[in-house]
Chain A
Amino acid sequence: MQKNQLTWMIGGPQGSGINASAEVFAKACSRAGLRVYANIEYHSNIMGKHSFYRVRVGDEDVRSYRDNTDILVALDHETLAGDGDHRRWATHFGHLHQLNEGGGVIYDSEIDFDPSQSGRPELRFYPVPFMEIIKKALEEVGKGEQARRYEVMKNTVGLGASLALCDYPFDLVGEVIRGQFKGKRSEVGELNVRAARLAFDHVRDNFDADGFPYTLKPGPEPKARILAKGYEIAAIAKLKAGCALQTYYPISPATDESVFLEKHQREYGLLVVQCEDEISSINMAVGASHMGVRASTATSGPGFALMVEGIGFASITEAPGPVLVLYQRGGPSTGLPTRQEQGDLLFALHPAQGDFPHIVTAPGDLRETYQDIFSAFNWAERYQLPVIVLSDKKLAAIYTTIDKLELKYDQIDRGALFTGSEWTSVDAKGPNDGHAANGNGHGNGELKEYLRYALTKDGISPRSRPGIQGGRFWSTTDEHDPDGHITEGVEMRVAMMRKRMGKLALVAKAIPQDQQFTLHGAADAELTIVAWGSTKGTVLDSIKVLEAEGKKINFLQCRLMRPFPAQAVGDILRNAKRVVCIEENYSGQLATHIAAETGFLIKDRINKFDGRPFSEDEMIAAIRGALAGKTEAVVTNVR
């Protein structure tokens, strides 16, 4: 039986609204019970440059995109033929090569394009008079002469036409469009529905759509799954975790998270501050953390490069935060601002001078993002250190269905607090216990003097905050004594280094194993894939396909990067028959990290550093290659 699935793609210049129709289609599918995985590729540009949106839908879970599409909607010539006509070095050659056999191309009949010269004459081509349809829709409400002003409705026309091809119920889409234009804008909504309907009818009336090989039915039953973007889930996790202050400086692809939070700051009482730069963002968040609120920031590589001194600052002063979400994009330097890369792992692991503790975690999908960001605030306060959550452009921007969004570990844990009269939840018997210098009255029931950096047994000193009576303390980025004053003394230096660095062992012990790594699949596999972050879904989708062919593959997903579960990961790798590390960066940064942490050197590395995420097809081919002992860099085929 043929699977109920479809990939639909729309391409056009930035500013032409391809997002709108792609997201409408995605929602219409999600609501009808289908699963959705949609991703956008776009330029660092406001208007005019090529962008495209892929929507993959089906009855089965989809966690990655496919190379090819069944339907392509082209709003401009470039979508069909690439940009070689106006660039010395073409960046792409159009999307016709990405159509499945017999696939349909819907394009604006005003585009100067000859299908017979397309190189894919076997495809089905549907020239549709986009502007004429828009004009007709406007005429019905007496605004026919204003057609040019409504040119942006072209994307809706393309969507309407597509539905006729794949035979998807028009009303499901019409309803979503209406839902997006509420109140005063409902008139515009109606106009869009009308234009889409006219396009739908146009294709039905003028072309023989029957027998189009790629059709889509609504899901077996309507299901109200969540359809979300990664940055939204990240923002909601911050709200859920009680974050009180979010600072940011605009940068792709991190900005969306902060803007989402700012949009909701009034309802939730979370303050969002747009700063003058990322140095300000991180330091403001550190200042707020010390004041006792949960604070966070979000950035990508260039911003993180500026933030690094703040990480060291937070760590040596044992600030209970901040939580920083680092949305990786193509580096180095300004690099590929809107494209995918997993290139900042090693940088995030050691961003500043000296040895200092911090936590780095790399969730692999939206549910893990939700959990890890929530947990990150607990870890930050409990261990009094900054936490970096590694995300990336792909995780930020994918628009995908989530069956259930819930926290497995849902407790708020604010760590050991000095509350004014007593210390809580900590055994304060330290190496210097009994010394007046340690000021540590705890244990014999009497508090002599509060010391913010008391040398406790487990290295965690109950924290106070300004405003707490009797909890006064000093703090400095210099090395310091238990009272927070500067020291350069040998013994205290050693004690403080051990106190701080020792916290990593506590973290390693406390973080649940399933938040550290996951071995997906059977233990006895012919090939073990090692990967991290947003490639998770792609690897899982690929393995599913290969397993159906009888291949035995498992997948070690690394998630907690620091402290690293070296023993467990090393054991798995040493027992594996064959290991390949697959990453979206040039050098294989996780493999390098694993070698340093476990002594296990993964030589077989498959890397992709062209700024595009692995498709399922590319991943499958890469794994097949690895099974055959071939590991080459993967490059997206643009011709």
Chain B
Amino acid sequence: MSVSAPVKLTIKDYKSELHNDWCPGCGDFGILTGIQMALAQLQLDPDKVAMFSGIGCSGKTPHYINAYGFHTLHGRVLPVATGGRLANTALTVIALGGDGDGYGIGAGYFVNTGRRNLDFTYLVHNNNVYGLTKGQASPTLSKGKRTKSMPEQAIQDGINPIAMAVAAGYTFIARAYALDPKHCAQIIARAIQHKGSALVDVLQTCPTYNDLYTKEWYEGADLPEKKSRLYKLEERGYDGKVQDPSDPEEIVAKKAAAVARSYEREPIPIGVYYEALLPTYEDEIYKRIPSLKDTPLVEMDTFHRDVTPLLEAMR
């Protein structure tokens, strides 16, 4: 028998054949490409990848990816993905959804998922609007702003997802830009490789409803001297990585630095804000049920349990 060299997977192998119904020029295309590039870069077996999404334009993403795909409920993608990850730790789990999905209706899960530090990746398509419901203000739109789809200015302020992620306990926190798929892919690949809960907030244009934060705006086309409104953290010597995770002072200092950067506007930093290798939820589970370390829950034989000792104890 001849041994053939392993086939190298390319970005095409991660594309489904489904016709795409996003608006032309949607930032979601960039994120989709970023995900597919990251999967190819990591050579992940499509049968071992489970994508989970919320509801919204962004929620359709898994349908366009050749991997197991679960398009779930508005705001609940994180609990569903958590259940998926717990059931089968042999898989790569990626959750994603809109900023309305993750920071609005799903805010509680966003926070509590950070507390767990489960080993998976969460991508938020942050376009400042509720896309699929036709452009209402999302939780990241600042007070007083008004896109062309809004009848009135935003009456309440936007949240700072990076700072929120820091406070919640995500151990990999990054921001990417949808129209720079290559950089986006690098960040996503790092997020996938990170051991622990990784949040990537992807700044995304919505050409149909968001006329404030457009491609041109991000490019700074309106500035007296055209200059990008984004900069890459790593290019300015910023390193958010905690070198010694056993040192609480370093953790606090790095978190503070990340939060400080997250308030920078014009230019907005993209790249990795914070990264720390801390015990994951899985690690904690393995302490309690060591056999799960080698055998994911789904592979365990749960069907031959002897419950007689429990019943005997009741006599």
Contacts and interface: CB of A to CB of B under 8 A. Distances in A.
Interface of A: 30-31, 224-228, 232, 236, 239-240, 242-245, 247, 264-266, 268-271, 273, 275-277, 279-281, 283-295, 309-310, 313, 317, 405, 412, 465-478, 484-486
Given A244-B302, A270-B302, A468 B47 contact: yes
Given A270-B302, A277-B108, A475 B70 contact: yes
A474 B87 contact: no
A413 B263 CA distance: 55
Given A265-B289, A309-B73, A405-B311, A284 B80 contact: yes
B193 to A, nearest CB: 19
B80 A283 contact: yes
Contact of B112 (A276, A472, A475): A276
**Most chain A beta carbons < 10 A, residue from B16, B52, B79, B81:** B79
Contacts of A264: 310
B285 interface: yes
Given A227-B315, A287-B52, A474-B71, A294 B302 contact: yes
Interface in B283-305: 285, 288-289, 291-292, 297-298, 300, 302-303, 305
A287 B81 contact: yes
A287 B18 contact: no
A271 B302 contact: no
A181 B16 CA distance: 63
Nearest to A287: B83
Contacts of A309: 73, 76
B43 to A, nearest CB: 16
A288 B87 contact: yes
B87 A295 contact: yes
A402 to B, nearest CB: 9
A290 B84 contact: yes
Contact of B83 (A232, A283, A485): A283
Interface residues of B, number: 52
A470 B48 CA distance: 10
Contacts of B76: 279-280, 283, 309-310, 313
Contact of B87 (A276, A280, A293, A471): A293
**Most chain B beta carbons < 10 A, residue from A288, A295, A310, A474:** A474
Interface in B73-124: 73, 76, 79-84, 86-88, 90-91, 108-109, 111-112
A205 to B, nearest CB: 34
A287 B70 contact: yes
Interface in B200-254: none
A470 B62 CA distance: 17
Nearest to B300: A269
Interface in B51-67: 52, 55, 60, 62-63, 66-67
Q: Which 9 A-B pairs have the closest CB atoms?
A: A287-B83, A291-B87, A284-B83, A287-B80, A476-B71, A288-B83, A276-B112, A283-B79, A466-B68
Contacts of B68: 466, 472-474
B46 interface: yes
Contacts of B288: 265-266
A288 B47 contact: no
B69 interface: yes
A293 B301 CA distance: 10
Contacts of B47: 466-472
Contacts of B60: 486
Nearest to A480: B71
B305 A284 contact: no
A242 B311 contact: no
B181 to A, nearest CB: 23
A477 B315 contact: no
B109 A245 contact: no
Given A466-B68, A472-B67, A283 B73 contact: yes
Contacts of B285: 271
B88 A271 contact: no
A455 to B, nearest CB: 19
Given A405-B311, A465-B298, A466-B50, A245 B87 contact: yes
28 contacts: A226-B311, A232-B314, A236-B311, A239-B307, A245-B86, A245-B87, A269-B291, A271-B285, A271-B289, A276-B111, A283-B73, A284-B82, A287-B82, A287-B83, A287-B87, A293-B298, A310-B76, A465-B298, A466-B48, A466-B50, A467-B91, A468-B47, A471-B47, A472-B47, A472-B66, A473-B69, A477-B72, A486-B63
A290 B87 CA distance: 9
A41 B6 CA distance: 67
Contacts of A288: 83-84, 86-87, 297
A236 B72 contact: no
Contacts of A273: 82, 86
A23 to B, nearest CB: 11
A475 B72 CA distance: 8
B297 A245 contact: yes
B29 to A, nearest CB: 18
Given A466-B49, A475-B70, A486-B63, 16 more contacts: A232-B314, A239-B307, A240-B305, A268-B302, A273-B86, A280-B76, A280-B109, A283-B73, A288-B87, A288-B297, A290-B84, A466-B88, A472-B47, A476-B70, A477-B73, A484-B69
Given A227-B314, A465-B298, A475 B80 contact: no
A286 B307 CA distance: 26
A239 B305 contact: yes
Given A244-B300, A283-B79, A474-B63, A269 B84 contact: no
A476 to B, nearest CB: 4
Contact of A290 (B70, B108, B307): B70
A236 B289 contact: no
A472 B96 CA distance: 19
A248 B87 CA distance: 16
Contacts of B73: 283, 309-310, 313, 477
Given A265-B288, A279-B79, A412-B303, A236 B88 contact: no
A555 B60 CA distance: 53
Contacts of B48: 466-467
